[in-house]
Structure formats: structure tokens, C-alpha cells
Amino acid sequence: MFFLPGIQPFGPQIELGRQHAHRLGYFDPATFLLDQVSLSLLPSFFLLGIVICLVLWWMPKGGAAQGSFSPPKWDLPSRMLIATIFVLALTTFANLLGPRLSGLIAPFPVFGTIIAIFTQRQQGPEATARLLRGIVSGSPAYAAFFLVVGSLLPHLPIG
């Protein structure tokens, strides 16, 4: 979620690399701060709920969807390759980073970033705004899943 304040659907005049660097300007300090703090499950869940509400309030809504779009043939393989490279890099450096920091970096919004960059390039800023707003709107489902798993795991026998 801390990556999201840097998400703004810029017009085509702003290059995608600069947009991504802008977003990282939010994610990196937040990751550093979260590495210094340890919250229990329930306060983390409520804090995340507040952050999601604030991000939804702050994000642009995007215009109405326009027609259908057929991505080029290379689109899906390119997305898969980029995501694979990130996962391999994180796995390679996990021992060096340690379990806590690699765990904080792991939720780096790889899928959101990759899809947003491709959407921005192929369909423009309005479609990107709708996409990212949808990702944030779906985030409470992930939070609820981890709340349930985190609450039940200590009490259920494993193995």
C-alpha cells in the first residue's frame, strides 16, 4: 500500500521509468520504516484498512472505459518474463537480505507495477487509473485472508 501514493496516471509526456522511480520514492522509505517496527496482527489489519481508505480517497477515479482492446502477441510473455526476473532476483538475494527484509520486499507490487506499465503504454492514463483503483479496491480481500490465516495458524496443528 505504501507504494500507492506514488501512483498517478501521468500523461504520455512523462516517461514510465521516471514514474516508477517516483513510486519507489514512497515504497523504499516505507519499507525501511516497517523494518524498524513490529505490530501485532489486529493493529496491523486496522492500520492497513485506514491506509486503503486513504489511498482510495486520494487516487484519481479515471474516466469511463473505452471500447475493447486486443494486446499484442508479445504482451503476456513479456509480463511473465519481467515478473520471473523479479522473483528470481528476490530469491537470489533473500539470504543476504534476511527473512524480515526480504519478507517486506516480497509484497512489492510486482504484478500491479507490470500491469500498470503495460496498461499505461498501451491504453493510456485513464485506463491505468481504473486498473490501479481496482487493485486497491480488491486489497481488503488480501488483508482479510491474511488476518484469518494469521489468527488461525497458531491454533491449528500443522503436519
How confident is the model over 87-106, as pLDDT tens digits? 898 889 889 988 877 777 77
Question: Residue 73 is part of which domain span?
Answer: 4-155
Percent of the chain with pLDDT over 90: 15
d(CA 107, CA 98): 15
Lowest mean pLDDT of 58-62, 90-94, 124-128, 129-133, name the range: 58-62
What pLDDT score does 86 carry?
Answer: 84
How far apart are the two ends of the chain, measured CA to CA in Å? Answer: 33
Per-residue pLDDT band for 20 (boundaries 50, 70, 90) equals low
Percent of the chain with pLDDT over 70: 80
Q: How many CB atoms lie within 10 A of CB 156?
A: 7
Most confident among 3-12, 20-29, 116-125 (mean pLDDT): 116-125
Higher-confidence residue: 149 or 59?
149
Domain count, the chain: 1
Question: What does pTM read for this prediction?
Answer: 0.69
What pLDDT score does 12 carry?
Answer: 47
> Which whole-number Å values give the CA distances from 35 to 24, 103, 111, 112, 117, in the listed order?
16, 10, 22, 22, 28
> Taking 50 as the threshold, does the pLDDT of residue 27 lie above it?
yes
- Which amino acid, residue 133? R
| Triad 14, 82, 25: Cα angle to 5° | 45
d(CA 80, CA 68): 22
